[in-house]
């Protein structure tokens, strides 16, 4: 009998990879074809990559669909040298899979996810739940809590939101995000955009930009119309990038945090 793991069991390799066994049943599909069906996956963190990916024992992968890569991107994925093209229904997906160079992960194959490079598997499941973008980190937590704090948001001195009924979203390694009911946001100051992002913890977000020519980044406001169940309280509420607006909580101005988004937002700022 295989025991379900309940404690952290992260291991390291000489190449700088971190990995740990997972107790989740994981399947990966391309279209209607199941390419991976694994009850013994491992989570792998590559150096300087903040999100994990899965690698799978070879006997839980449809190796009959894999071909030695015609043009392998040797050296990517922490020095990997063995890559595979995926051949399916007459379509050849270049470099869709690879093996890591570490002896610790010998006998395992990893796959690209569709959307990251456009050539991977396009549907992934943990147990019976479909997951998106990348595997969820089991050591990362996201909590959405209703609050009675008084939150005000200003952009270049203009009040754009004022509420005493926000939902605060606490996410490991990111600043607290303040989700505000639409009725408490001056939405007439913003225009919806075609921009969307996907998050494995929250779902798919819609975006708005500020009208006019203020020197702020586009897509500064977002909302999740159909969030994942774990963060259901943020449904249809609006959030602002703390990094680019002025937020006051209970009359206390909040410092603008420095996050992985800061540099990108500064680059996108309209001049």
Tens digits of residue pLDDT in 47-85: 988 889 999 999 999 999 999 999 999 889 999 999 999
d(Cα 31, Cα 217) in Å, to the nearest integer?
A: 37
Q: Phi-psi region for residue 31, left (φ > 0), alpha (ψ -120 to 50) or beta?
A: left
pLDDT band, very low/low/confident/very high, at 6 (cuts 50, 70, 90): very low
Q: What is the pTM of this model?
A: 0.79
Kindly tell me if the per-residue pLDDT of 213 is higher than 90. Answer: no
Kindly tell me if the per-residue pLDDT of 8 is higher than 70. Answer: no
Residue 206: name the closest of 219, 188, 218 by CA: 219
Averaged pLDDT, 235-257: 95
Least confident of 48-57, 74-83, 113-122, 198-207: 113-122
d(Cα 170, Cα 226) in Å, to the nearest integer?
A: 19
**Per residue in 174-193, pLDDT tens?**
899 999 999 999 999 999 99
pLDDT band, very low/low/confident/very high, at 265 (cuts 50, 70, 90): confident
Which residues, including other chains, have CB under 8 Å from residue 250's CB and lie 6 or more apart? 149, 150
């Amino acid at each position: 009998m295989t025991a379900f793991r309940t404690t952290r069991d992260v291991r390291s390799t000489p190449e700088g990879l971190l990995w740990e066994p997972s107790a989740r049943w994981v399947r990966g599909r391309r279209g209607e074809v199941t390419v991976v069906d694994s009850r013994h996956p491992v989570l792998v963190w590559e150096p300087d990559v903040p999100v994990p990916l899965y690698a799978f024992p070879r006997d839980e992968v449809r190796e009959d669909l894999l071909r030695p890569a015609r043009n392998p991107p040797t050296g990517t994925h922490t020095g990997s040298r063995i890559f595979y093209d995926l051949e399916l229904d007459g379509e050849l997906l270049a470099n869709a899979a690879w093996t890591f160079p570490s002896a610790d992960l010998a006998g395992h194959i990893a796959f690209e996810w569709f959307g990251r490079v456009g050539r991977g598997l396009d549907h992934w499941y943990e147990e019976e739940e479909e997951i998106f973008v990348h595997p969820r980190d089991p050591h990362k937590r996201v909590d959405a809590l209703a609050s009675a704090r008084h939150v005000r948001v200003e952009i270049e001195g203009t009040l754009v939101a004022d509420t005493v009924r926000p939902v605060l979203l606490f996410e490991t390694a990111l600043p607290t995000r303040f989700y505000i009911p639409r009725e408490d946001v001056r939405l007439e100051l913003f225009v919806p955009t075609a921009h969307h992002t996907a998050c494995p913890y929250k779902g798919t977000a819609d975006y708005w930009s500020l009208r006019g020519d203020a020197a702020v980044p586009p897509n500064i406001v977002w909302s999740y119309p159909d969030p994942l169940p774990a963060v259901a309280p943020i449904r249809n509420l609006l959030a602002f990038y703390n990094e680019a607006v002025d937020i006051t909580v209970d009359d206390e101005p909040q410092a603008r945090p420095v996050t992985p988004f800061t540099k990108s937002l500064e680059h996108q700022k309209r001049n």
